[in-house]
Amino acid sequence: MTSRGPNKHQQKTEATRRKLLKAARRVFARDGFDAARIEDIAAEAGHTRGAFYANFDTKEDLFFALLEQEATKRLIELRAALERCEPVAERMRAVREFYLERANDRQWVMLTLEFRLYAVRHSRMRAKLAAAHRRIRFSLNFSFVGQLIPSLVKQTSTEEEEIVKAVLEAVLSGLVLERAYDPRRISEEQVLSALGRVFDTFTRGSALALK
């Protein structure tokens, strides 16, 4: 018995959702998360507010769907990069390069920073938003990294792993922000050099911050 694919209604719904996600990234980057309006996102996607609410309950829900999409995309890209490398040393360099390349997507880095500031400013929502963000991070399966690079499988506590992840993400975000704010102070080459040094320091004997 063959399984049926999605019907026309499901295909249309999925296409609308994809358009809303693409539009949201553009509108969030253009207007900022807090100032972005649902009707503007819907219009950018070529739809109405009704189409938005048929797919998402709130603007925050849309952001988390976008976050999950971006994270899953990075996961697939990392796995493909590692599987193309045979020696373990090359795989480790691929992971390092993966981390450094994240600095090139300034739009996404700035958007995640802005969302965090939004959550902090709306204290009644902060815990809920942070919990949703954690659920997405923990749902991503990076176990293949340890399988492909056995030397990274260390006796490291979950708490230590999270500290490493937080440090690498904070340094990346901070340097990208500083570069965007004052490019005369720090060059792109200096950003990548600093990120490389931080990566080398904080990934020795610890799990990697890939999310």
pLDDT for residue 8 is more than 50? yes
- CA–CA distance, 92 with 203 (Å, rounded to integer): 10
Kindly report the CATH number that applies to the domain delimited by 9-56.
1.10.10.60
> Which residues have C-beta within 8 Å of that of residue 88, sequence separation ≥ 6?
148, 149, 150, 151
Query: Can you give the residue ranges of every domain in the chain?
Result: 9-56, 60-202
- C-alpha triplet 60, 26, 59: angle, nearest 5°: 15
pLDDT for residue 156 is more than 70? no
pLDDT in tens, 45-86: 999 999 999 999 999 999 999 999 998 998 899 888 888 887
pLDDT in tens, 81-131: 888 887 877 888 888 999 999 999 999 999 999 999 999 999 888 998 999
